[in-house]
Amino acid sequence: MLFLAMAAAFVASIILTPLVIKFAFRIGAVDHPNYRKVHASVMPRIGGVAIFGAFAIGYLLLRPSDEHAIGILAGAIIIIVTGFLDDMLEITAKAKAFGQLIAAVVVVIWGGLQIDFINLPFFGPFDFGYLSIPITILWIVGITNAINLIDGLDGLAAGVSTIALISIAVMAMIMGEMFVVATAAILAASALGFLFYNFHPAKIFMGDTGALFLGFMISVLALLGYKNVTMISLVIPIIILGVPISDTFFAIIRRVRMKQPISAPDKSHLHHCLLRAGFSHRQTVLIIYGLAILFGVAAVLFSQATVWGAIVLILVMLLAIELFVEIIGLAGTNYRPLLNLVRMIGK
Residue 149: what are its φ and ψ, rounded to 5°? -70, -30
148 is in an annotated binding site: yes
CB atoms inside a 10 Å sphere around CB 252: 12
Q: Which residues, in sequence order, are CB contacts of 259 under 8 Å at separation 6+?
A: none
Alpha-carbon distance 248 to 78, whole Å? Answer: 23
Using alpha carbons only, give the angle 209, 213, 218 rounded to the nearest 5 degrees.
155
Contact 68/100 with Cβ under 8 angstroms? no
Mind giving me the DSSP string for 121-185?
Answer: TTTEEEE-GGGHHHHHHHHHHHHHHHHHHTTTSTTHHHHHHHHHHHHHHHHHHHHT-HHHHHHHH
Mind giving me the DSSP string for 178-225?
Answer: HHHHHHHHHHHHHHHHHHHHHSSSPS---HHHHHHHHHHHHHHHHHTT
Q: Which SS3 state, helix, strand or coil, does residue 256 take?
A: helix
Q: Decide the pairing of beta strands 117-120 and 124-127.
A: antiparallel
* Residue among 80, 59, 79, 71 at smallest CA distance from 6: 59
Alpha-carbon distance 163 to 342, whole Å? Answer: 34
Binding site listing: 148, 208
Binding site listing for Mg(2+): 148, 208
